[in-house]
Structure 1
Amino acid sequence: MNKELRVFRVLAVALCVGLGDLAQAVTPQDLLKTYEAQSGKASSARGEQFFNAKHGKEWSCASCHENPPNHDTKHIVTGKVIKPLSPNANPVRFTDEAKAEKWFKRNCNDVLGRDCTAQEKADVLAWLISIK
């Protein structure tokens, strides 16, 4: 990658972190950096554990997305097809910050009964990025 492009990417990430919810992520890694800036270093191991655990409600993330979430699945109630969560299997995942936030909000409420914290989002996203 040439020097100008690297500088541009660094500035783009800084802009995403600086603008918070107003910025659109360019890559899943950019979004991860945004969450880490809000919460601290992400843990892929914690993300996998969080994804597979039930948190006081009937469902875990894996209830609908399965493990590993690198293939099409179906929602356990509606039967609607869910595209892979892993950005390596589905390159458009986590490239739109507003869309990612919408789905985190909806799914975290289904699984946890509350919004996910920035740390929980960072951990799950770090794990999803690692899945091939």
Structure 2
Amino acid sequence: MEMPNLSPLRRGALAALLTACGAAAHAAGPAELAAGYAAQAAAPPSAARGEQFFTQAHGREWSCASCHGTPPTASGKHAATGKSIAPLAPAFNPDRFTDPAKVEKWFRRNCNDVAGRECSAGEKADVLAWLMTLKK
């Protein structure tokens, strides 16, 4: 695929994004998704920033931890509906972060709830980086 008029960094980010989009038909994993988001952000992910983003409020009533718990290694509970939420950390729920379309839907909905906006690619990469550090 010819990508004229793009810097090498943007070409790499675009290639990673296209790869991530192509993976939508196949099972992915949190590491592959985090790598795709990091390429979009053109910055390496930070687990420390991910933990901070997850546990702090962002001008709204809830933080991510309000429903998913801290750390999100056990079942959580939706703050408004009381609906049970399966563990978020991939080591505690291997089905998490395997479908790129579902991950995007999850980030879109939840970032709107906690930040009132869509999360940036860097924020998504950071949160995934932190979640992958949580082990049994």
Same fold (TM over 0.5): yes
Gaps of 5+ in 1: 1-14
Specify the code of the residue in structure 1 equivalent to 2:38.
Answer: E
* 1:16–1:30 contact (8 Å) kept in structure 2: no
Cα distance in 2, alignment partners of residues 107 and 55 from structure 1: 12
Tell me, yes or no, if structure 1 residue 37 matches structure 2 residue 34. Answer: no
Cα distance in 1, alignment partners of residues 29 and 75 from structure 2: 21
**Deviation readout 1:29-61 (Å, 9 max, x if unpaired):** 111111011011000000000001110111100
Specify the code of the residue in structure 2 equivalent to 1:41.
Answer: P
* 2:20–2:33 contact (8 Å) kept in structure 1: no
Tell me, yes or no, if structure 1 residue 89 matches structure 2 residue 129. Answer: no
Cross-structure match for 2:56: 53
Gaps of 5+ in 2: 1-14
**Deviation readout 1:103-126 (Å, 9 max, x if unpaired):** 100000000000000000000000
Computed over aligned residues only, the root mean square deviation of the Cα atoms, in angstroms, reads 1.7
Specify the code of the residue in structure 1 equivalent to 2:51.
Answer: E
Specify the code of the residue in structure 2 equivalent to 1:33.
Answer: A
Between 1:106-115 and 1:17-26, the stretch displaced more is 17-26
Between 1:23-32 and 1:74-83, the stretch displaced more is 23-32
Cross-structure match for 2:3: none
Question: 1:1-132 residue pairs with structure 2 within 5 A?
Answer: 17-24=17-24, 26-39=28-41, 40-132=43-135
* 2:60–2:114 contact (8 Å) kept in structure 1: yes
* 1:17–1:33 contact (8 Å) kept in structure 2: no
Q: How has the CA–CA distance of structure 1 residues 53 and 68 changed in structure 2, closer, same or farther, with 3 Å as cutoff?
A: same
Cross-structure match for 1:10: none
Shift of 1:27: 1.3
| 1:23 aligned counterpart, secondary structure | helix
